[in-house]
Amino acid sequence: MTTRKVLTLTLVRNIADEVLMGLKKRGFGEGKWNGFGGKVEPGETIPQAAARELTEECGLRAHYLTKVGLLDFEFLNDPVIHEVHVFETREYSGTVVETEEMSPKWYKIEDIPFNEMWLDDPIWFPWYLKGGPQFYGYFLYKGFDTILKQELKSTDLP
Ligand code: 6U4
Ligand code: NA
Ligand code: NA
């Protein structure tokens, strides 16, 4: 039987149009640059989890979160589907700080380090960066270095 693990992923954009990426220092995705996020805890909404994880991982407080996409990840021979809710914030306060989990850095769009990110990121990130409509993505991984199946389409998120 498959189960779903609900996660958030938040991308921060500044007025210079740079994207804040975090180098994950521990746990799932260690050594990869990524947005900020984690598991939704019991009793919180998905946007609340996104806001909490953002603050925990890089110190910023989101004033406004926009839903940009939904990603489902499956790993071959693993019954757990990772359901990742992707948000963007352009309105936030606070100071970017390094945390135990993440080492944050602003990237110009042309410098985003795709070769040190999840393999699926070069597929859906450009869609996000162009400001396209909300997207739905599905990726089936074999291990962490091979994508066996992929899908990316526009959708309307609730
Ligand atoms: P802790 O250690 O509790 O703070 P936790 O809440 O367990 O962290 P974590 O850090 O494991 O969550 O969450 C994984 C993060 O990685 C989430 O933000 C979602 C993101 N993520 C997972 N798979 C991804 C993938 N294939 N591509 C991607 N982001 C992914 O871009
Ligand atoms: Na996390
Ligand atoms: Na967490």
Q: Ligand 1 test: best mutation among 10, 26, 28, most atoms within 8 Å of CB?
A: 28
**Whether residue 29 has its Cβ less than 6 Å from ligand 1:** yes
Q: Which two structure tokens, joined as six digits, stand for 64?
A: 């406004």
Query: Percentage of the chain surpassing pLDDT 90?
Result: 96
CA distance 7 to 85: 6
Distance from the alpha carbon of residue 57 to the mean position of ligand 2, in angstroms: 7
Question: Ligand 1: which atom is nearest the Cα of residue 9?
Answer: 18
**Whether residue 82 has its Cβ less than 6 Å from ligand 1:** yes
Residue 140 has pLDDT above 90, yes or no: yes
CB 141 within 8 Å of CB 76 = yes
ipTM over 0.85: yes
**Whether residue 28 has its Cβ less than 6 Å from ligand 1:** yes
Instruction: Find the mean pLDDT for residues 77-97.
Output: 97
CA separation (Å) from 52 to 66, 98, 120? 15, 16, 24
Instruction: Find the mean pLDDT for residues 110-128.
Output: 97
Per-residue confidence (pLDDT) for residue 132, from 0 to 100: 87
